[in-house]
Amino acid sequence: AQSVTQLDSQVPVFEEAPVELRCNYSSSVSVYLFWYVQYPNQGLQLLLKYLSGSTLVKGINGFEAEFNKSQTSFHLRKPSVHISDTAEYFCAVSDYNQAGTALIFGKGTTLSVSS
């Protein structure tokens, strides 16, 4: 079964600094990867996804992630963060490209942006 490891539980950064949130997954023949963001008292919102094609994926709010098959990683990056990026970020993986197979989530990384 797939598993996801988010290596940092908390990441504090200053506004306008770059940030990287790390995610590693257990190996599989084919894998689909996702990053979600959760703001306080809200559900999860999709930031970006990798299904196939280019290994560099761009998402909403200026975030991007790079799929690295050899290192089984899918790290999330943003070159310059804002206070409004403060939230919980979840990496998720799926084995199959079909409905009805639930995503497996990491434990989450809390990004705290201060001025």
Partner 1 sequence: ETGVTQTPRHLVMGMTNKKSLKCEQHLGHNAMYWYKQSAKKPLELMFVYNFKEQTENNSVPSRFSPECPNSSHLFLHLHTLQPEDSALYLCASSHLTGELFFGEGSRLTVL
Q: What residues make contact with partner 1 under the rule CB under 8 A?
A: 32, 34, 36, 41-46, 49, 51, 90, 92, 94, 96-103, 105-108
Cβ at position 30, least distance to partner 1 in Å:
11
CB of 71 or CB of 101, closer to partner 1: 101
User: Locate tokens 């943003």: which residue?
Assistant: 78
Cβ at position 10, least distance to partner 1 in Å:
12
Quick check: 6 and 23 in contact, CB under 8 A?
yes
For residue 36 the two structure tokens come to: 């979600």
CB of 15 or CB of 86, closer to partner 1: 86
CB of 5 or CB of 15, closer to partner 1: 5
User: Locate tokens 């403060």: which residue?
Assistant: 86
Beta bridge partners of 6: 23
Cβ at position 3, least distance to partner 1 in Å:
10
* Positive/negative CA dihedral, 20, 51, 4, 27: negative
